[in-house]
Chains A and B, each alone.
Chain A
């Protein structure tokens, strides 16, 4: 009898020890998740808490399907993500290759390269807002003093230019994620296959294309996974630089969701949007992760 009790107590011990962690997880992750999912099935308005109990089923989601503003923001976010990631990849690759080649001052440069990441995105946003400002911005100022243009270019007003400016800020801030990871890849790269390729008849470009790049791709995909999560939730830089405007021309998913949820106080609808947007992130992560696994497969095991 006593033995059964002790053994049962022994079986419970791990559970007991994990209890604080489980409770914390429930409180911090599960509860908000369930709560927000619940609100997406209600017409919950921040200003009227009683609407929480008013279940309207899938109506928020159905309205979403025909909400042009949402889908435009959705598409723009995908585009934003695609452009930013590709540009960051190419620039990061270039920087990593250059830093890898120099033999002197490499450490210093590696540190300097990280600087943009040390600033809060909000501050980066403010900085670029002032750089791109059409009246007082230093960019227009410089262009005008150089005589390249005589009018104020509406960097943050014109839809295309505004998207460009935001992407520029985003790229400025985060290219180093790619650069760092790709540089790590370059440091880890065995030298012999490169030399073998040279002897095998490759010129510099072919060595890069056929040997180096395949080796670096897993590192690039890690960076892409990290950055796709990051960019898909982009909010701060956009909010500061254009606030999604003018007239919604730079609206991304999360600026839209924040507007619907906080400005219009329609939290139920906003949460429905958020859940659909989360799908986007999951999709990108899954995609890059699959690419990563595929690229990693060859490298499996020591060579």
Chain B
């Protein structure tokens, strides 16, 4: 068991930098999820931790030990790959036991640990099959089993669920969470799916273009996104972003509507500043049909373009200040296109970002 520390970690392919000096402290037993859009350098970072990718500069420590120049086999980590990477010519049993066998463990220890892992993951019936004879979900479990038998210092997962269908993905997500509670190892988990990140992580690291945009617990990054990118990335459907300018009376939207400045940000708004108002769809809804709305609010008038009934709630695509916004209506309330709704914006949960830098005013 060990924490992982990254210090000013840089990766460049030739002259192209893809990871720009990342700093990250991952605590012992912590489940950290690296999330970000495709190509942002998540896999590269993970592979550098694993030792599969050389680092250009910086430092990686696992359990306090500098591992920069150690080959993967000396880092005592286990990795689960996106397409499982099982050994095709070995049975499940041999796949699970391979790492222990290579490490020179006695046969009985290997057998016992394989059995233990098989029991945890429900693979006991499949031990004599080859990977070709398994379903996707079963292969995924074998890949995880192969990781846990070795009792490594840390687990690294690279989008382990992205090859599964939606239902199985949900199921395996729950299993990974259970597994972590059971074995309680340090985990670094890469995904581009923010739902996975929110549900699994103790701490989320949001990356973009080789930089870390924000690090925090799921609730922190959801409730206090550090910038527009994080705000748009975390949460589904994404946060509405309304350009506005600060005035003496409040925030003036593109069509002239003026909304009051949220009280908690009042001191931070400079008059004349170009801003972006961020409001989650959950926080715009007709009075009485939304989330419990007791805090400060402001009324706006929306014209509905499309309504998507989802059962418990409907998702509305409407126009506000000439821009499309998404909002939610709770309860059995049918909304038809073209309808004009008076909606309440929960300002106490709204965010303001500097239009130029994208940074949240809250942070400043």
Contacts and interface: CB of A to CB of B under 8 A. Distances in A.
B292 to A, nearest CB: 48
Given A196-B81, A200-B99, A215 B73 contact: no
A75 interface: no
Interface string B125-161: 0000011110000000000001000100000000000
B85 A201 contact: no
26 contacts: A192-B81, A192-B85, A193-B87, A195-B72, A196-B79, A196-B86, A196-B87, A196-B146, A197-B87, A198-B71, A199-B50, A199-B73, A199-B77, A199-B79, A200-B98, A201-B99, A201-B103, A203-B71, A203-B73, A206-B102, A215-B88, A215-B89, A298-B90, A299-B89, A300-B132, A301-B132
A226 to B, nearest CB: 23
Contacts of B89: 214-215, 295, 298-299
Contacts of B133: 301
Nearest to B80: A196
B88 A200 contact: no
A299 B132 contact: yes
Interface string A270-303: 0000000000000000000000000100111111
A202 interface: yes
Interface of A: 190, 192-193, 195-203, 206, 210-211, 214-215, 295, 298-303
Contacts of A214: 89
B234 to A, nearest CB: 30
A200 B150 contact: yes
B361 to A, nearest CB: 44
Contacts of B174: none
Contacts, number: 79
Contacts of A198: 51-52, 71-73
Contacts of A210: 87, 98, 102
Classify the interface of chain A: helix, strand, loop or mixed. helix
A211 B52 CA distance: 17
Nearest to A214: B89
Contacts of A190: 85
B56 interface: no
Interface centre among A192, A206, A303 (most CB of B within 10 A): A303
B102 A196 contact: no
Contact of B102 (A192, A200, A303): A200
Contacts of B51: 198-199
Interface string B97-133: 0110011000000000000000000000000001111
A303 B132 contact: yes
Contacts of B71: 198, 203
Q: For this complex, into which size category does the number of interface residues on chain B fall?
A: 20 to 34
Contacts of A302: 132
Contacts of B87: 193, 196-197, 210-211
B102 A193 contact: no
Contacts of A192: 81, 83-85
B278 to A, nearest CB: 40
Given A215-B88, A303-B88, A199 B78 contact: yes
A298 B132 contact: yes
A185 to B, nearest CB: 13
B186 to A, nearest CB: 15
A199 B52 CA distance: 8
Contacts of B90: 298
Nearest to A200: B99
Contacts of B88: 193, 215, 298-299, 303
Given A190-B85, A197-B87, A201-B99, 13 more contacts: A192-B84, A195-B52, A195-B72, A196-B81, A196-B86, A199-B50, A199-B51, A200-B99, A200-B150, A203-B73, A211-B87, A301-B132, A303-B88
A22 B209 CA distance: 67
A266 B71 CA distance: 68
A211 B88 CA distance: 9
Nearest to B130: A298
Interface string B45-76: 00000111000000000000000000111000
A161 to B, nearest CB: 41
Most buried by B among A201, A203, A206: A201
A215 B146 CA distance: 20
Contacts of A206: 102
A275 to B, nearest CB: 38
B73 A303 contact: no
B79 A303 contact: no
A202 B85 CA distance: 15
User: Which of B50, B84, B98 neighbours the largest number of chain A CB atoms within 10 Å of its CB?
Assistant: B98
A219 to B, nearest CB: 13
- Listed from nearest, the 4 A-B pairs whose CB atoms lie closest are A192-B85, A301-B132, A298-B89, A200-B99
B52 A193 contact: no
Contacts of A202: 73, 102
B301 to A, nearest CB: 55
B110 to A, nearest CB: 13
Contacts of A298: 88-90, 130, 132
Pick the most buried of A195, A196, A203, A299: most chain B CB atoms within 10 A of its CB: A196
Interface string B24-54: 0000000000000000000000000011100
A190 to B, nearest CB: 7
B132 A199 contact: no
Nearest to A300: B132
A287 B134 CA distance: 30
